[in-house]
Amino acid sequence: MEKEITIYDLAKILALSPATVSRALNDHPAINAKTKVLIAEKAAELGYRSNTFASHLRTRKTNTLGVIVPRLNSNFMSTVLAGMEEVANNVGYNLLISQSLESEVKERANAKTMFNSRVDGLLVSVAYDTYSFGHFSTFISRNIPVLFFDRILTHPQCGAVIIDNEQAGYDATRHLLDQGCRRIMHVTGDLRRNVYGDRLEGFKRALAGQNLSLDNRLILSTDLSQEAGRAVAEQIDQMQEKPDGLFIANDLCAAICMQALKEKGYAIPGDVAIVGFNNDPVSQVVSPQLTTIFYPGYQMGKTAMTTMIGQLNGTRPIDHSEPIILRSELIIRRSSILLEKS
């Protein structure tokens, strides 16, 4: 294997000191422009590569931040990551991104890889089945900041960025109630996760505000997959007392459910008015277009990254006692507008 060219090799060939070569390669102002050009050209000619790992060991800083998300094939997470990258790249940080595939076991492995890669900080949206904090404790013990976003774990030494899921759940349900729906089904994810538990609380609050009793048979906890959407449609078709409204905590699941109901002969929104969540692109290509909650993913990514970098630079201390809460917005489309009521 060909020997790696070092600063010492360049110094010997150019009859310069290693310190001069190092400073020139780092664009130090003490080195004149002609010498910098000479050294840069020779370095390029010989295929010299900067040993950033050794530099990181000296400075104890890698300018790399770890990000763990449940899935990369999510429109919402893609927008979050885009917001993170914009902020990180503008201040010279790189991102090391991995996905847990909704598994705590995989998330633990990801966290270990991030730690061994010497990331300066870690941002996490936890998997469906993550309930222990142990795999993040190593970061805290080494004063490496951890910030949760969207799906969070509450810890006194970790920041968090979320939306007001309880209010979003209330807004979605209240809209269906305002359209005249009185038997509303809520299709949600794992209620042990903050996002789904909080949306359910909003659902309950909206019903209580109209003096409607809660029917637990109309609360379905699923994995919010496409298959779950079809299963919900099948279940509705078999019910004697069918719901007249559906609040589904994921747009893709809602869109598939709506399509399956239409195939069974149900009119949307005439028979069942439907509201989804996330404002994914699918919400605008289905027919009728889907009423949904706009979830500010890009803003969440920018806010989370700005907060993390501010903590690293000491310019923005995190108040760990309270999460940063972003606003969501109800977007009303044809899937929930009951123009005529029989």
How confident is the model over 321-334, as a mean pLDDT?
Answer: 93
pLDDT number for residue 2: 55
pLDDT number for residue 338: 81
Q: Do the Cβ atoms of 267 and 319 come closer than 8 Å?
A: no
How confident is the model over 188-214, as a mean pLDDT?
Answer: 95
Band of the pLDDT at 174, cuts 50, 70, 90?
A: very high
Dump pLDDT digits (tens) for 43-52: 888 878 766 5
Dump pLDDT digits (tens) for 58-107: 446 789 999 999 999 888 999 999 999 999 999 999 999 999 999 999 99
Q: State the Cα–Cα distance between residues 26 and 41, nearest whole angstrom.
A: 14
Least confident among 207-221, 253-267, 306-320: 306-320
Dump pLDDT digits (tens) for 136-148: 999 998 899 999 9
Dihedral angle sign, alpha carbons of residues 78, 80, 85, 90: positive
Q: Do the Cβ atoms of 121 and 96 come closer than 8 Å?
A: no
Mean pLDDT taken over the chain: 91
Band of the pLDDT at 4, cuts 50, 70, 90?
A: confident
Residue-range domain boundaries for the chain: 7-50, 63-163+297-326, 165-295+330-336
Where do the DSSP E strands lie in 64-211?
64-69, 94-99, 121-124, 146-149, 159-163, 184-188
pLDDT number for residue 55: 53
Q: State the Cα–Cα distance between residues 55 and 276, nearest whole angstrom.
A: 49
pLDDT number for residue 12: 92
Tokens of 98: 């991995």
pLDDT number for residue 322: 85
How confident is the model over 190-206, as a mean pLDDT?
Answer: 95
Dump pLDDT digits (tens) for 6-48: 888 899 999 999 889 888 888 888 889 999 999 989 888 887 8
With a pLDDT cut of 90, the percent of the chain lying above it is 75
Question: Nearest CA to 80 among 12, 192, 161, 188?
Answer: 161
**Backbone φ, ψ for residue 305 (5° rounding):** -70, -40
Least confident among 129-133, 227-231, 281-285: 129-133
Query: Which of helix, strand or coil describes residue 13?
Result: helix
The pTM assigned to this predicted structure is 0.79
Q: What is the CATH code of the structural domain delimited by 63-163+297-326? A: 3.40.50.2300
Written out in words, the top-level CATH class of the domain with range 165-295+330-336 is alpha beta
Cis preceding-peptide flag for 269 (omega within 30 of 0): yes
